[in-house]
Each structure stands twice: as structure tokens, then as C-alpha cells.
Chain A
């Protein structure tokens, strides 16, 4: 069982707003920033969000937020190229390790 829990799958149509969630606990998300990573067709992960900061080169339709022990990644204006697996991760101080969620498969209909 993952320390971080993500939806297995989410889908949306082009132009729609979708939100992916990542649920943790006070030892991880409750205390540390969350990273979000996009993986297309089993290629190398690409960072799309660091806390609520957008990395250089990532479109502004991506945004990140956190409330308590749940982090969210929102894509406003979904595009076909956003179809991918998305993973969240953060530090867990009780496990003394970086932990990853199980991933969300985002499908653009």
C-alpha cells in the first residue's frame, strides 16, 4: 500500500478542467511540498509542478495546491498532449524516505 494515494484513472475532454489528487498524512504531505511528475508512454518522468510553483517551460494551464494532507494538480484547458501517467511524491519523515503515489492515468477523450 502506497504512503500516498492517487486516483487510478481520470479522464476529460479537450478544454476541460481536471484535478488530480494525492492523499497522504501529517508525516508527508502535511509537512512537505509535493512534486508532480508526468510520464508519457513509459518515457522519463518530467516535472510539471513543485509545490505550487511551475517549473520553467511548463504551460500555465498546470497549477498545484495543498490542503492539509491532500495535494492537488489541476490542468485548466486540457490538451491532447496532457494524456499521461501522473505521479505525486514528497518526503516522509517517519519513513525517512521519498514516497511516491501509485500514479493516475489521465486520458484525454
Chain B
């Protein structure tokens, strides 16, 4: 079965960086894009961007341009999210989610999600 296991909670100081991992299993990793979505306390989810493990093509949300980097390690079937210049407002649960594809067409909806990684930014 499709499963994503994310790395553990992180405590970071403002101005530093964080990297979150997302280990995939149960399907061919390179066949589906991985999206990253974050959710601040009491807020709706917010899309950060996606990466295609097949060719490392990325698309980042304008809000995070310059601060976000998404990568994959296909041999380890793992996706990574790096966020730099952290601010208190980056405190959130970060999720990886697989993009849904059907009949060769993908539509930026998500079919499977990781369990989430809490990143707390505080001085």
C-alpha cells in the first residue's frame, strides 16, 4: 500500500534552515510528483510546491520563492523539503502529498499524504 513516512519534529531559531524528509513506499516513486503542503496552527492548508522525481522539475509557490528547495533521492525513494531564513510565521505542520494521476493525466489533487512534521520556529 502507498505510504509516506516523514521525519520527526524540529525546533529551529529564526534565520536558520530546516530540512524535512518524506520516505515513500508501495508504488513506483518516479511515476508521481510529490507536493509539499503546510498548515499553520488554526489555519487552512497552504501549498508550497511540487517536484517530479522523474526529472527533478519543480514548481514553487510564489510565496516561497528564494527560500524553498525541493529535492528527491530516487534510490532512497525519498523527497526533501528545505526552507531557509525561517521566521516565527513558518511554525506549521509540513506534509508531503502524492499528486493524483489517472489515465495518464495529473491534476494537482493529492491522493496520499504523509503523517506531517511539526516545525516550530522560536527564539
Contact = CB atoms under 8 A, between A and B. Distances in A.
A16 interface: no
Given A87-B45, A96-B62, A97-B61, A47 B107 contact: no
Interface string A40-78: 000111110011010100000000000000000000000
Nearest to B59: A96
Contact of A46 (B37, B46, B108, B113): B113
Interface of B: 35, 37, 44-47, 59, 61-62, 95, 97, 100, 102, 107-116
Interface in A64-106: 87, 89-91, 96-103
A23 interface: no
A45 B38 CA distance: 11
Contacts of B35: 98
A55 B111 contact: yes
Contacts of A35: 100, 109-110
A91 B113 contact: no
Given A97-B62, A101-B44, A102-B44, A44 B110 contact: no
| Chain A contact patch, size range | 20 to 34
Interface in A12-56: 32-35, 37, 43-47, 50-51, 53, 55
Nearest to B112: A47
A102 B45 CA distance: 8
Given A50-B100, A53-B102, A100 B44 contact: yes
Contact of B116 (A44, A98, A100): A44
B45 A100 contact: yes
